[in-house]
Each structure stands twice: as structure tokens, then as C-alpha cells.
Amino acid sequence: MKYPDKNGHFGEFGGRFLPETLIALHDELEGVFKSALKDPQFKKEFQYYLNEYAGRPTKLYYAERLSQRLKTLKVYLKREDLLHTGAHKINNTLGQILLAKRMGKTRIIAETGAGQHGVATATAAALMGLECVIYMGEEDTRRQSLNVFRMKLLGAQVVPVTSGSRTLKDAMNEAIRDWVTNVDKTFYIIGSVAGAHPYPLIVREFQAVIGREARRQFLKAENKLPNYLIACVGGGSNAMGLFHAFYKDKSVKMIGVEAAGHGLNTVEHSAPLAKGKIGVLHGSKSDLLQTEDGQIQVAHSVAAGLDYPGVGPEHSFYKKSGRAEYVAVEDREAIKGLKLLSETEGIIPALETAHVFAYLPKLARKLKRQQSIIVCLSGRGDKDMEQIKELI
């Protein structure tokens, strides 16, 4: 069985819960995406920008001192933090911008929460010389003013959204409204493995380069497959990017780390897989943070990139089928994880990625014999310096 099925379902999750007006747009996008995947010219061009512009392939680095510290874990780091713009998000925006060009679109729109996806989109749009409009909750434009400045420097227009909670989910609604109105020339770039079919599939395919490279690199280094894979989960794109190439390798265990914020027994966290209920958000069915009467619960995490009330449907499917395990790490633990990697390896991770390093010692304590693990080092910490200074 291949996932998703032709209607975009991952088991009971995913799909396309959309008004009539949006169905045709998603159908057209799906058609273009499928033809692009079969076109060697498209693949060649995508690979060209991944390699020459973004800096792929990224290294799979053996973290020797971290491994010594953890004793039972031999850790390899997949260095997505070394990509242009400092995180994995550029893999996806380069892929989608090439789809936009293929469709003859001249205008790019996107939603952004923390601003990381907005910056990666504005970067790709500048590279291709396309007009770019980024929707961002007004609340977020204030919290992430430096990223607003970056997007503007890159030539994008940033539109503050004043509806609802003035955060990511409202920005996403506004972007969809723009798309419907200006569909002739506009392409909508979604930033994670979320949204209606075919977006979760598109983003997974464009991020799957992470796992394909890592699998090849690990086999070359160790002449076997790893015991574990681990990645942080916001919407779930860096995790799915790493996991996907290992889906059929049944011996390889997968762990996704959600943000437990102030604690899983509070309402201030971003852990829909641990504490959510199944529901529909942005056209797709998955685990979601909801209030008792079914409204979307505002998410919280110290890491802005993990601060999303939903999660990609394929992760809900992996969880339900048992293919992957999901754990959650609190804000204050994440800071410890950040220090652990910084002090043992001289690499300061993004606050999102720091959640993974907070979980590694817990996993290490459970193991009797040494096991190998690949960590998706999704991004670098430079963007978080101001915030970390306040927290430490």
C-alpha cells in the first residue's frame, strides 16, 4: 500500500476538506506536481538549486563527544542547519517555487508564524525574480520583527493579519482567501506537511532528500542501517523528510519530539499527537489541539517553529499505526538540550531542534547496549540568540 492513496488519505487522516471553489485549484496543482515528478528536466533543475544554491548534500556528522557523554547512543547529525538560510525549510520552498514557474505563475504567497517559512519563501522568490506576499498574524509580526525586516529586505510584502487570534492559523486563512481571489497568477507555498491534499505529499517529497541522503551516508559510514531516527515535530516536515526514506526499513525505529511547552498537563503546549483530538484544520484531518467545545486551541512553545495547533496527517498515521513513536519535551528541558549540543559539539541548534537533544539523554538511559541514531539537526540557533539570552 502506498501512502497517501489517490485522494490524499493516510489511513483515516489527511484528505481534502475544502469548499468547492478550492477543489479545482488543488486538482490542478496535483496534476502539475505529478507531471513534474516524472520530468527529468524538473528533477535536474530542482537538484541544481538544492546543491548549488542551498548547499546540498548536507553532511552526516558523527558527534563523537556527544556520543561519549550519552554512552549508549552513537549519534550522527544530519546537518540541515548548514543550508542557506540556516534550516531545512529552503528545500521545500525551492521545490514549490519551481512548480510555480512550471505553472507560469508570477506571484507567490505564503503564510508564516515565526517568520522562518516566510523568510525561506521570500528568499526563493527573490532568487527567481517573482513577486512575493507573506501573510503573518499581527501578533507574530510584533514578536518576530527581525524576520519581518528580513522578508522586506528580500523584497517581499508582509501583510499583518488582524483577524482571530492574530497568529499563524489566521494568516493561513487569509492566504487561502488571497489565493482564491488571485488564482490566475498566484501560487500558494505551504511551509510544512500540512494542509489539504496534495500539499502534505508535495512537502514530503521535497523534504525527502534529507532521508535519502542520510540513509546513503549512514550505510557508507557504518555498513548497516541505524537503530533510530529522531527529529522535532512542528507541522512535521523535517521529521517526515528524514523518516520517509526509511519507511520500509522495519528495523529502524522513529521518534518524533513535540513541544510540551509549560507541561502536558497545562493547556500551554504544542503537542497535538500527545494531547490532541482528531479534527479538521486547513483542509486536512489530523490530531489537533482543541478546546472542549471543539474550537482550535492556541498552541504554545518556546520554539516559535513548533508553535502550531495541528500536525501533518502522515504523522497522525505513523502514530496510529505504530510506525513512529512521539514524545514531548518542555520549554525548560529544551534549553538544557541546547546547552548539551553547544558544549559537547560546538554547534548551537535552533530552539526547535534543541527539543531533540533534551530527549536524547532520556532515551540513552533506557538502552542496555549501544544503539546508533540519526538526528535531524533541522536548524541553527543564531535566529534565537536574543530569546535564549533571556531564558538562560
Ligand X SMILES: *Cc1c(COP(=O)(O)O)cnc(C)c1O
> Among 14, 226, 234, 313, which residue interacts with ligand X (rule: CB under 6 A)?
234
Q: What is residue 170's three-state secondary structure?
A: helix
State the helix-helix crossing angle for 89-102 and 40-48, rounded to 10 degrees. 140
Sites for ligand X among residues 10-69 (CB under 6 A): none
Q: What is residue 141's three-state secondary structure?
A: helix
What number of other Cβ atoms are within 10 A of residue 129's Cβ? 9
Amino acid at 358: A
First to last CA, the chain: 48
Q: Is 89 a catalytic residue?
A: yes
Give me the least distance between CB of 136 and ligand X, in Å please. 14
Catalytic residue among 89, 105, 275, 285: 89
Dist CA 317 CA 283 (whole Å): 16
Dist CA 178 CA 324 (whole Å): 36
> Among 123, 237, 286, 297, which residue interacts with ligand X (rule: CB under 6 A)?
237
User: Is 305 a binder of ligand X (CB under 6 A)?
Assistant: yes
Give me the least distance between CB of 380 and ligand X, in Å please. 8
> Among 125, 176, 232, 360, which residue interacts with ligand X (rule: CB under 6 A)?
232
Q: Which is nearer to ligand X, 70 or 193 (CB)?
A: 193
Strand order in the sheet with 9-10: 9-10, 13-14, 284-288, 277-281
Build a one-symbol-per-residue string for 84-123: x at contacts with ligand X by CB under 6 A, - elsewhere. ---x-x--------------------------x-------
Amino acid at 292: E
Q: Is 378 a catalytic residue?
A: yes
Considering only the stretches 53-61, 127-135, 220-228, 231-239, report the one whose residues sit in contact with ligand X under the rule CB under 6 A. Answer: 231-239
Q: Which is nearer to ligand X, 4 or 236 (CB)?
A: 236
Which runs of consecutive H residues, i.e. helices, occur in the chain?
20-37, 40-48, 64-70, 89-102, 116-128, 138-143, 145-153, 168-181, 199-207, 209-222, 237-243, 272-275, 313-321, 331-345, 351-366, 385-391
Q: Is 389 a catalytic residue?
A: no
Q: Which is nearer to ligand X, 214 or 239 (CB)?
A: 239
Give me the least distance between CB of 376 and ligand X, in Å please. 8
User: Is 144 a binder of ligand X (CB under 6 A)?
Assistant: no
Angstrom CA distances, 284 to 7, 26, 30, stand at 11, 13, 15
Sites for ligand X among residues 351-370 (CB under 6 A): 352-353
Give me the least distance between CB of 388 and ligand X, in Å please. 14
Residues near ligand X (CB under 6 A) are: 87, 89, 116, 192, 232-239, 305-306, 350, 352-353, 378-379
Positions annotated as catalytic residues are: 89, 111, 378
